[in-house]
Amino acid sequence: MYILGIETSCDETAISVLEFSSKTKYKILSNVVSSQVAIHAPFGGVVPSLAAREHEKNLPVCFAQALKKAKVGIDKIGAIAITVGPGLSPALWRGVRFAQELSRSTKLPLVPVNHVEAHIYSAILNKKNPEVLFPAMALIVSGGHTQLVLIDEKKNMKIIGETRDDAAGEAFDKIAKILGLGYPGGPIVSRAAKKGKKDAIAFPRPMIHLKNFDFSFSGLKTSVLYTLQDLHKDKNELSQKEIADFCASAQEAIVEVLTVKTIKAMRHYGARTLLVGGGVSANTALQSSLKKSVKKELPGMRVFFPKKEFYTDNAAPIAYNAALHLRSVSAETIEANPNMRIAGKFYY
Ligand code: KG4
Ligand code: ZN
């Protein structure tokens, strides 16, 4: 069966065609992503109305490209998977309307997908026979979300911890903005951090020792701002070395909090597998910290990070997520849900 996946929750217009036989037998025939980074960069963040306008323009183009690359006609598609939330309302609605019209004209079933849930599936997508042992823990770290999700033995998902303010990706973006380094901040900060000393500046590790599994990153942003103002008292511009140290130290604060809390949560719930997804899963410091800590503190447990092409937003995990359950809704009743929360089954 061929599934068409559509994703427009933030600033990427993405359409993918998946050929699906079973959870381990499938092929991503196309995965078209049109990024709007250049359009939002001058604003230092995503402007929802601009994102919606770009989705409107890009959707038909990505749709044609995705079918062409996959060499599959629309008549061969069996279902349309569409991200309905969480995300930016005007952006989500553009995708939902597009899927709705397509479903009306083709009579294809519409399968609504939760964007954050799809980030979890990204961790195992296109891996050679990934064996997920339950209970499992998922860490979602994106520009909009930072959540720990427990997937219990019956494969029920439950959010057991999340950020109370900024998301991890948002923290990276704000740190880059404060330093005047550009947007999106994650890749820029992590690149600069490679040449810096991670213990150069002692940034706070908010909530690290609390018993719960929640996070908070807004204090870090404030601390970064004050530290920079202090440094600026003596000189106007930071040297490359100082910027590198700054980035490495701020990154380390984020990485350490994420690692400590994830390990604590895995231990508490007896999780046997860790699935990491979302844009920040691209961060190599986070990858090595989590792998090292799991190896040392929870030997034998498995850790999955997405393949490179699935780190940030794309439609392949949307199509895959839908293919695993195919629970459709009617084109008349489907709605975008900007505040959608993870609940229900992990279909794997
Ligand atoms: O998952 P994603 O593409 O979009 C959302 O669903 O939000 O994540 C985007 C976020 C941005 O905040 C970006 O700065 C961050 O992921 N990001 C990174 C890296 N690459 C992307 N953060 C840290 N290190 C990276 N290498
Ligand atoms: Zn995302």
Non-local CB neighbours of 302 within 8 Å, separated by 6+ positions: 131, 132, 133, 272, 273, 274
Query: Is residue 44 over pLDDT 90?
Result: no
Question: Is the pLDDT score of 229 beyond 80?
Answer: yes
pLDDT, tens only, 282-308: 999 999 999 999 999 999 999 999 999
pLDDT of residue 144: 93
**Would you say the CB of residue 277 lies under 6 angstroms from ligand 1?**
no
**Domain annotation for the chain: domains and CATH numbers:** 2-121+310-325 (3.30.420.40), 130-306 (3.30.420.40)
Gap from CA of 230 to ligand 2 centroid (Å): 35
Q: Which of 192, 300, 315 is nearest to 245 (CA)?
A: 192
Q: Whose CA is nearest to atom 14 of ligand 1?
A: 186
At 129 the pLDDT is 81
CA–centroid distance, residue 272 to ligand 2 (Å): 25
Nearest CA to ligand 1 atom 19: 186
User: Is pLDDT above 80 for 235?
Assistant: no
Assess whether pLDDT exceeds 80 at residue 337.
yes
What rounded mean pLDDT belongs to the chain? Answer: 96
Mean pLDDT over residues 197-211, rounded?
93
Counting beta carbons within 10 angstroms of the beta carbon of residue 346, is it exposed (0 to 12), middle (13 to 18) or buried (19 or more)? buried
Pick the residue whose CA is nearest to atom 23 on ligand 1.
Answer: 186
Beta carbons of 32 and 65 less than 8 angstroms apart: yes
The yes-or-no verdict on residue 244 having pLDDT over 90 is yes
Ligand 2 centroid to Cα of residue 145, in Å, is 8
